[in-house]
Amino acid sequence: MLRPYPRSVLLSLASLAVLACGDDSTPTQPTPGGVPVPGAALADALAPNTWTVKAAPREGSFINQASAGVMNDASGNPVVYLLGGRDDDGGCGAPVLAYRVATNTWTSPGFGAPHLDVFDANGVGRIGNLLYISGGESYCGGTSFIDGRFWAYNPATNTLTEKPFPPKGTAQGVTGVIDGLLYVLPGECAYDYFPKPIYCEDSPFRRLFRFNPATNRWATKKSAPHFHDLGAGGVIGRQFYVAGGEGTNTLDRYDPATDTWKTLAPLPVGGTARGTVMQGKLWVVVTHFYENQGKSRTYAFAYNPATNSWAQKAAPAYHHSDIVAVTLGGKPHLVAIGDSHDLTPNPVELYTP
């Protein structure tokens, strides 16, 4: 079933009061992207803890529920690649799109561009010069199903290469890279044809997988203590942090050295989330759906592993399918990207910490 807006559990009144007191900023209002500015000059001009609205992709782009990865170009400037996605009608055939942060421009896919027919994948992990993406849902043929395949995208050659199928067909997860190995924690598993090998008995999923590019093989690791369907994740200090997801605000940390998980301080707000690591912290953008109000609200938080605590930050003005960390003009930033509203693609937003 297609879900343009996520679900979550309701906050208590007490939690809302704490949030109201602890909010150190309000979202900045949308402003035009303007004329492209050199990276260093742009970075110097942005105020701390603010989001700046940038260029949107062209109308009709397949950017809903897309996943993002980052690779620098030949000049050392960051390029954000959108992999997968769908349009507002659930169509399939999303070409790989590229957003150049320094010039605030989108690259048209052009003739023969590779397509990835999935959305709500298990996130993107970079190893060397490749961006790896696994799993996801598909709407090809007019029916939603989980397409659990595994791909490697090479930005230098603009090619997608299919890799060995993971142990299960999954979607809606998170991915991290530690010591050249890919760690994937899916959120849901295909169950239509259980007990066939790649299917599961139930849809909710918390089993952790590891892929080794050197051997081209998958391994199954210890399951997470909580489900993180549409959660956020990132790697800090060679450990994998996973937070939030539909109906949860838990934070779990995986240590590959011991193949163990530990539950840490929960997110102040539960809900579907996207995350990345910047400045040694886990940055998470959470969308919480208030059932009694029939609408969603977006929050942003940064987790400090040194203190096991969360700090609320300014939230983006638009809903996005993913966030990534980039370095622009020698300074760190977040890029929130993907999704649309009323058939209009949402613009990129750039965060200055």
Domain boundaries in the chain? Answer: 13-352
Question: Alpha-carbon distance 78 to 276, whole Å?
Answer: 15
CA 346 remoteness from chain centre: 16
**Which two tokens mark 89?**
């009608």
Question: Closest Cα partner for 274 from 314, 326, 319?
Answer: 319
Residue 130 and residue 152 in contact, taking contact as beta carbons nearer than 8 Å = yes
Residue 268 and residue 310 in contact, taking contact as beta carbons nearer than 8 Å = yes
Contacts of 343 (CB under 8 A, 6+ apart): 59, 88
The amino acid that residue 205 corresponds to is F
**Which two tokens mark 291?**
């059932």
Looking at residue 139, its pLDDT comes to 86
As its CATH architecture, domain 13-352 has 6 Propeller (2.120)
The amino acid that residue 347 corresponds to is P
3-state class (DSSP) for residue 340: strand
Looking at residue 17, its pLDDT comes to 34
Q: For every one of its 353 residues, what pLDDT tens digit does the chain have, with 9 covering 90 and above? A: 333 333 333 333 333 333 433 333 333 333 333 334 445 455 556 799 999 999 999 998 999 999 999 999 999 999 999 999 998 776 677 899 999 999 999 987 666 789 999 999 999 999 999 999 999 999 887 788 999 999 999 999 999 999 999 999 999 999 999 999 999 999 999 998 899 999 999 999 999 999 999 999 999 999 999 999 999 999 999 999 999 999 999 999 999 999 999 999 999 999 999 999 999 999 999 999 898 888 899 999 999 999 999 999 999 999 999 999 999 999 999 999 999 988 899 999 999 99
Residue 313 and residue 275 in contact, taking contact as beta carbons nearer than 8 Å = no
Residue 151 CB coordination number (10 Å): 22
Residue 251, phi then psi, degrees to nearest 5:
-125, 125
**Which two tokens mark 272?**
């579907």
DSSP string, 37-91: --HHHHHHHSPTTEEEE-PPPPTT---BT-EEEEEE-TTS-EEEEEE--B-TT--
Residue 207 CB coordination number (10 Å): 17
Question: Alpha-carbon distance 353 to 314, whole Å?
Answer: 9
Residue 232 and residue 248 in contact, taking contact as beta carbons nearer than 8 Å = no
Distances (CA, A) of 211 to 65, 70, 123, 133: 24, 20, 14, 11
Which residue is listed with tokens 């791909």? 151
3-state class (DSSP) for residue 21: helix
Looking at residue 110, its pLDDT comes to 67
Residue 296 and residue 289 in contact, taking contact as beta carbons nearer than 8 Å = yes
Question: Alpha-carbon distance 11 to 301, whole Å?
Answer: 16
Residue 327 CB coordination number (10 Å): 17
Q: Strand order of the sheet with strand 78-83?
A: 67-72, 78-83, 97-100, 105-107
Question: Alpha-carbon distance 347 to 345, whole Å?
Answer: 6
Residues recorded for the chain:
353
**Which two tokens mark 321?**
């399918």
Looking at residue 140, its pLDDT comes to 84
Residue 309 and residue 302 in contact, taking contact as beta carbons nearer than 8 Å = no
3-state class (DSSP) for residue 30: coil
CA atoms within 13 A on the CB side of 199: 9
Residue 41 CB coordination number (10 Å): 9
Q: Using only the alpha carbons of the chain, give its radius of gyration.
A: 19
